Amino acid sequence: MEKKEEFREPSLETINLAVEAIEQNDLEKLKYYVQGMLNKYKNGSTSWLFSGIFYNLNNNLVESEKSILKSLDINPNYGEAHRIYADILRKKNRSDESLKHAKLAVEINQESAAALDTLGTSFAKLNNHQDAEINFLKAIKIKPETAVFFNNLGNTQRHLGKHAESIISLKKAKELSPNFAEIYNNLSLTYFEKGDYQNAYKVLKEIENKNLLNNYNAKDLFTSYGHICSKIYQFKKAKEYY
């Protein structure tokens, strides 16, 4: 008689340690836990999920997609795997597929703030900022102390032309995560589009003063700096950034 293949999952303790490594952005530690999961539980959907997360964080989208598809092959109703897959597909510019899996993630786990945020991001990628805003607000209602959610909300409100609301959301994001450079750039862009060039310059200057340049795409930052400096008539300084 043929032996039936067992599908076993890693212990909760191992999963929590892997999650902790992700939160600390310690990819070497995460790699260690992922290897342990796959060595011991290679038929577990959770093992392949964390493998996919590891590769996604390393920007290896090919291997990340392979791992997530293995996870979903084992458990097609794994909401978190659908969420991570939506993120991978968005990065690969497969936006319609990304939206499909983000919707599945929310259908499976309606109370997941992360899934709602991913759905909002998928809508935003398709320039559907109205539905993006709705889902970011739902995510914030569940987890109101998450800077990324407020940053995403503020950015989509900027695209909707809701500059006053965007500034409030982005200031809240900055308060929650003072060293998250992307927030400063989005806030500066909002002020810039609003025509408030002095505050746009002031916010970008904070990135420089806080030594956050290494945490953001310097080329994008310098381009923004150049535009803003020219608007407030600091033409000599503007030339330094173009």
Distance, in Å, from the CA atom of 52 to the CA atom of 69, rounded to the nearest integer, reads: 9
Q: What is the per-residue pLDDT across 150-174, written as a single tens digit (0 to 9) for each?
A: 999 999 999 999 999 999 999 999 9
Q: Fill in the DSSP letter of residue 109.
A: -
Domain with residue 14: its CATH number is: 1.25.40.10
- Residue 122 inside a domain? The answer is no
- Residue 12 inside a domain? The answer is yes
- Residue 170 inside a domain? The answer is no
The parent domain of residue 66 ranges over 7-76
- Residue 27 inside a domain? The answer is yes
The residue type found at 159 is: H
- Residue 55 inside a domain? The answer is yes
pLDDT at 133: 98
DSSP assignment of 5-17, as one string?
Answer: PP-----HHHHHH
- Residue 22 inside a domain? The answer is yes
- Residue 49 inside a domain? The answer is yes
Distance, in Å, from the CA atom of 68 to the CA atom of 43, rounded to the nearest integer, reads: 13
**pTM (two decimals):** 0.85
Give first-to-last CA distance, the chain, whole Å: 72
Structurally, the chain folds into a number of domains equal to 1
What's the pLDDT band for 213 if we cut at 50, 70, 90? Answer: low
pLDDT at 185: 87
- Residue 209 inside a domain? The answer is no
